[in-house]
């Protein structure tokens, strides 16, 4: 499916696979494309991946899409204002803990920490400085239920605390890899060297499909990896 063919309506669930649906947040912009993709994984024990911006309509849509299921996990790929702010309100209402790599400054490379200390400000989608997970997860950590398992992969570059989430042969890629545009890398929160290393890590995973934070599912992951990462030529 191309991005031109992918036209979800904000607030209306889109069935993607057994136990997986997408709800588009009503926040279209040049940075967010059609809006943020919020994913609900599971039937009875539901993980909400990237709750999105702090928006009443979107919060109500998440609850409606969950139906009789129990929102038990909230997992945030990264602390940008279009992905994480709704997490705390959703957690308060459901009792579900918030999982993530750490606060917005977690995972910054040493050089970006120095630049930030020298006064370099971030840009891009905006930083959710109030974000903080209840449960910190890093590469290799898994969230396991009887219905599904998600494995975390730390993929700094777009921002230091960025995670991708592996579900079988599927990867939720957040803003690291998208079909509609390349990822924004804006120092000091973004680091191009880290981004390229993260692309290499992601390319090692034998994935069938990527579900990004914005735009249509990426059904040609290897082609997307080659576009984002160019392996060095042999000596």
pLDDT tens series, the chain, 235 aa: 566 688 899 999 999 999 999 999 999 998 898 999 999 999 999 999 999 999 999 999 999 999 999 999 999 999 999 999 999 999 999 999 999 999 988 877 777 677 657 555 666 668 999 999 999 999 999 999 999 999 999 999 999 999 999 999 999 999 999 888 888 888 788 889 999 999 999 999 999 999 999 999 999 887 755 445 443 333 3
Q: Report d(CA 94, CA 90) in Å as an integer.
A: 6
Verify cis geometry, omega within 30 degrees of 0, for the bond prior to 188: yes
Give the pLDDT of residue 179: 85
Number of domains, the chain? 1
Residue 167 forms part of a structural domain: yes
Please tell me what DSSP assigns to residue 218. B
Model pTM? 0.90
The reply to whether 2 falls in a domain is no
Across the chain, the runs of DSSP E, i.e. the strands, are 14-17, 20-24, 37-41, 45-49, 70-75, 98-100, 135-136, 142-144, 149-154, 163-167, 170-174, 209-212
Using alpha carbons, list the distances in angstroms from residue 182 to 33, 54, 194, 195, 225.
12, 25, 15, 11, 11
pLDDT of residue 5: 82
DSSP 17-69: ETTEEEEE-S--BTTTBT--EEEEE-SSEEEEE---SS-HHHHHHHHHHHTTS
pLDDT at 143: 97
Residue 1 in any domain: the answer is no
Which run of H or E residues covers position 221? helix 221-228
Indicate which CATH number applies to the domain containing 67. Answer: 3.60.15.10
C-alpha pair distances (Å), 216 with each of 16, 125, 203: 11, 19, 19
Q: Is 7 part of any domain?
A: no
Question: What is the domain extent for residue 75?
Answer: 14-228
Predicted pLDDT of residue 119: 58
């Amino acid at each position: 499916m191309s991005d031109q063919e992918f036209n979800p309506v904000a607030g209306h669930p889109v069935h993607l696979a057994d136990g997986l649906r997408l709800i588009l947040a009503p926040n279209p912009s040049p940075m967010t494309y059609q809006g943020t993709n919020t994913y609900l994984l599971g039937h009875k024990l539901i993980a909400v991946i990237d709750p999105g911006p702090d928006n009443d309509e979107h919060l109500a849509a998440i609850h409606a899409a969950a139906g009789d299921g129990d929102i038990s996990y909230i997992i945030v790929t990264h602390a940008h204002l279009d992905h994480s702010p709704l997490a705390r309100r959703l957690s308060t209402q459901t009792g579900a803990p918030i999982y993530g790599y750490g606060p917005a400054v977690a995972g910054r490379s040493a050089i970006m920490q120095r630049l930030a200390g020298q006064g370099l400000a971030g840009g891009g989608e905006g930083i959710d400085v109030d974000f903080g997970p209840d449960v910190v997860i890093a590469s290799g950590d898994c969230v396991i239920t009887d219905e599904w398992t998600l494995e975390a992969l730390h993929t700094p570059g777009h921002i230091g605390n960025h995670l991708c989430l592996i579900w079988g042969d599927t990867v939720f890629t957040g803003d690291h890899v998208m079909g509609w545009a390349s990822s924004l890398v804006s120092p000091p929160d973004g680091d191009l060297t880290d981004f390229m290393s993260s692309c290499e890590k992601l390319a090692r995973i034998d994935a069938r499909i990527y579900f990004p934070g914005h735009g249509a599912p990426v059904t040609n992951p290897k082609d997307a990896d080659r576009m984002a990462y160019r392996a060095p030529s042999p000596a």
